[in-house]
């Protein structure tokens, strides 16, 4: 018996991590693919006339066990990987890609889907059913259902190659990140770095059986060093190492892989009748076209550039006072922190004691209770994949009796995994192990996960968050709410299954609460004394909200423009290196001299491994939505129950309606770019 192919005998049928062995995965995938194919065969061979129920609905509910097994495997490959797991991923990915292609190019199945689609007027479909039908039909067409047999085979081969190469890209970045560390034996080299961070570096050295201190390229280690270290040569060395991730000509170099990935995407787009991959992607986004995206980004660039230039001039003045004639990119964090301290008398290290992780988590849980009536209770009887992980049972308060008895409904499981490990990729993300859906009068609830890389607690100090990490936790929790509050009929339209440039609205929206004094005072308390964060510091946090906003905006615009150019101008890469291409299409946003030895593209996992290909602009696009949405809350009170209820409806609706329609139902009007500009630049 293979545990991954059986119904899980765990609370809420949660993933049985404690009983899964690596050797279970490959046979499980083969068996579950076979089972899913049998479900598809049953739809195809059904002798009855095709209907919405026996084709579209049956297809939406098929392959559930395979989806769950895939989620478990690929989530672990990101959060708790190993050489063995990565090897299995190389074997599993082409099998799953072939299975997907087999379904999407099943002519008999598509003919049934097309018949239902062509005759949709005769069905009395509700809005969600109409959306499911349209998305199913379009999904098959966009996967090659209208191609001839020869082209279908080409598309299948391209999809398999893309799957493997994007997987390899991520593995190379992880290996390149993990392969570097800086061993320091002279404490003078750590001048300027706060004691708590020095202690963290000492712990890292101890784990490696080394004397002294160790800095890695993991963000909780790298960022503080670049922010506080007075030793400019060491900052330069660390920045060079970070900028050479998968860009050093070695075993884990990604430059050729980038060209291969982009060529494959271009081939896929052309095969399906699109000019380029960006056209293919954006057809299914709110933005609709590359021109609209580039115009949007350039409009923001025009507005933000003067602010960014002014910010850099201020940093140059500080650097010149230290005898530095030409400030470099590796000086930015150091002098930005100095400037922030001078302007607001505020630095991350003096704020961190007020933001112990447990208090920040309690705050975001409390916010969810206040706005959406959710409660969170830790469960120790639900299996976990690592001892650092915690699991919470999430319930919704549906009634409180006159005697004070609370009636609740189970809403979701929430896994939280906060600390860096060698087997975990960098960054922060939300994902799911199981989607929400309704079937046979049962509302099957989701299992959601948040994964971050915050500083670990030490023997003397709990995990203390920088203010940026506080906003990161709120960001990922916003995504998690989108998943946990899901209340749709079909799994393919549930939770975060929305247009990609809409998906960041819930996450970025929640970050706004971190800057509200009324809310901050409820949880920002010193972990040793219990003192509430003083009003003057809260005021400075508010004032510093837009600190370096011009620089940050240009940085995001640069990523978005580079992404869009990669996916519209792939032919140019035939005669250019990745570095040359990157330099050319980011020069409009360059604020520091380019370094010939570094490039960010070879570690740009968002677009070459993750789902942001031709979609990185969506962060700024969603900022317009979130600024406009929070403005609505501000106008009516940030805890206003009526506004919160309308927002909850938006979240719970998932992808059942066009996102602009959902937004207008919540806000009463389309979002205005002025809301973002006002928030960012006043």
User: Alpha helices, DSSP H only, in 105-208?
Assistant: 107-118, 127-142, 149-179, 195-207
Is residue 223 a contact partner of residue 229, using CB atoms and an 8 Å limit?
no
Query: In whole angstroms, what separates CA 606 from the centre of its chain?
Result: 8
Torsion of CA 75, 78, 83, 84, to 10 degrees: 0
Structure tokens at 164: 């493997």
- Residues in contact with 206: Cβ distance below 8 Å, sequence separation at least 6, in sequence order: none
Q: What is the DSSP letter of 193?
A: S
Q: What is the DSSP letter of 187?
A: G
> Is 582 annotated in the active site?
no
Cα(662)–Cα(650) distance, integer angstroms: 6
Residue 256: Cβ-neighbour burial (10 angstroms; 0-12, 13-18, 19+): exposed
Report the b/e string of 24-43 with b at 16+ CB within 10 A: bbeebbebbbeebbebbeeb
Torsion of CA 270, 276, 282, 283, to 10 degrees: -40
Cα(208)–Cα(204) distance, integer angstroms: 7
Residue 213's φ and ψ, nearest 5 degrees, are -140, 145
* Cα distances (Å, whole numbers) of residue 474 to 109, 368, 593, 663: 43, 11, 34, 21
Cα(392)–Cα(369) distance, integer angstroms: 14
Q: Which of 64, 80, 469, 476 is catalytic?
A: 476
Tokens 């690929």 -> residue:
74
278: left (phi over 0), alpha (psi -120 to 50) or beta: alpha
Return the active site residues.
476
């Amino acid at each position: 018996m293979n545990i991954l192919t059986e119904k899980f005998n765990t609370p809420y049928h949660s993933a049985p991590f404690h009983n899964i062995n690596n050797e279970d995965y490959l046979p499980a995938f083969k068996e579950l693919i076979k089972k899913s194919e049998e479900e598809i065969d049953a739809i195809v061979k059904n002798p009855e006339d095709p209907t919405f129920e026996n084709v579209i609905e049956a297809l939406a509910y098929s392959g559930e066990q395979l989806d769950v097994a895939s989620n478990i495997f690929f989530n672990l490959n990101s959060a708790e990987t190993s050489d063995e797991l990565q090897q299995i991923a190389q074997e599993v990915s082409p099998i799953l890609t072939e299975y997907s292609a087999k379904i999407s190019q099943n002519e008999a199945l598509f003919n049934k889907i097309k018949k239902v689609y062509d005759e949709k007027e005769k069905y009395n479909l509700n809005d969600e059913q109409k959306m499911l039908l349209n998305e199913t039909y379009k999904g098959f067409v966009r996967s090659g259902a209208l191609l001839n047999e020869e082209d279908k085979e080409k598309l299948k081969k391209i999809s398999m190659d893309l799957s493997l190469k994007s997987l390899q890209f991520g593995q190379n970045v992880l290996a390149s990140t993990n392969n570097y560390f800086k061993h320091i034996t002279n404490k003078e080299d750590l001048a300027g770095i706060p004691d708590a961070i020095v202690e963290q570096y000492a712990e890292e050295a101890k784990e490696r059986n080394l004397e002294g201190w160790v800095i890695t390229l993991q963000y909780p280690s790298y960022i503080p060093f670049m922010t506080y270290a007075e030793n400019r040569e060491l900052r330069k060395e660390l920045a060079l190492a970070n900028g050479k991730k998968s860009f050093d000509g070695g075993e884990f170099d990604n430059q050729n892989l980038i060209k291969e990935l982009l060529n494959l995407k271009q081939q896929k787009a052309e095969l399906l009748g699109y000019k380029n991959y960006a056209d293919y992607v954006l057809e299914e986004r709110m933005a609709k076209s590359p021109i609209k995206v580039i115009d949007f980004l350039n409009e923001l660039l025009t507005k933000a550039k003067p602010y960014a230039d002014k910010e850099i001039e201020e940093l140059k003045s500080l650097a010149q006072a230290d005898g530095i004639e030409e400030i470099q990119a590796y000086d930015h964090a150091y002098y930005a922190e100095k400037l922030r301290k001078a302007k607001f008398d505020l630095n991350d290290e003096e704020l961190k004691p007020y933001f112990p992780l447990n208090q920040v988590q309690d705050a975001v849980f409390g916010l969810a209770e206040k706005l959406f009536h959710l409660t969170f209770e830790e469960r120790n009887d639900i299996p976990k994949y690592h001892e650092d992980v915690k699991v919470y049972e999430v319930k919704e308060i549906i009634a409180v009796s006159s005697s004070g008895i609370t009636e609740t409904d189970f809403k979701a499981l929430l896994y939280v995994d906060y600390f860096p490990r060698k087997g975990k990729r960098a960054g922060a993300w939300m994902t799911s192990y199981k989607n929400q859906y309704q079937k046979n009068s049962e509302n099957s609830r989701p299992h959601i996960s948040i994964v971050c890389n915050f500083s670990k607690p030490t023997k003397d100090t709990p995990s203390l968050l920088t203010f940026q990490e506080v906003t990161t936790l709120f960001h990922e929790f916003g995504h998690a709410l989108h998943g946990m509050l899901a209340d749709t009929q079909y799994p393919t339209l549930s939770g975060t299954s929305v247009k990609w440039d809409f998906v960041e609205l819930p996450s970025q929206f929640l970050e706004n609460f971190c800057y509200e004094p009324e809310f901050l005072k409820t949880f920002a308390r010193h972990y040793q004394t219990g003192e509430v964060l003083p009003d003057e510091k809260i005021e400075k946090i508010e004032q510093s909200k837009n600190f370096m906003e011009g620089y940050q905006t240009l940085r995001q615009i640069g990523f978005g423009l580079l992404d869009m150019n990669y996916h519209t101008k792939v032919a140019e890469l035939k005669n250019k290196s990745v570095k040359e291409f990157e330099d050319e299409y980011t020069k409009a946003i360059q604020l520091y001299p380019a370094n010939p030895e570094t490039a960010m593209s070879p570690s740009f996992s968002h677009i070459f491994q993750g789902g942001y290909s031709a979609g990185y602009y969506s962060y700024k696009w969603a900022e317009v939505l979130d600024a406009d949405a929070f403005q609505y809350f501000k106008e009516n009170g940030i805890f206003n129950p009526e506004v919160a209820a309308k927002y909850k409806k938006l979240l719970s609706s998932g992808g059942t309606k066009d996102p602009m329609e959902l937004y207008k139902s919540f806000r009463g009007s389309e979002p205005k770019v002025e809301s973002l500009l006002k928030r960012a630049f006043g």
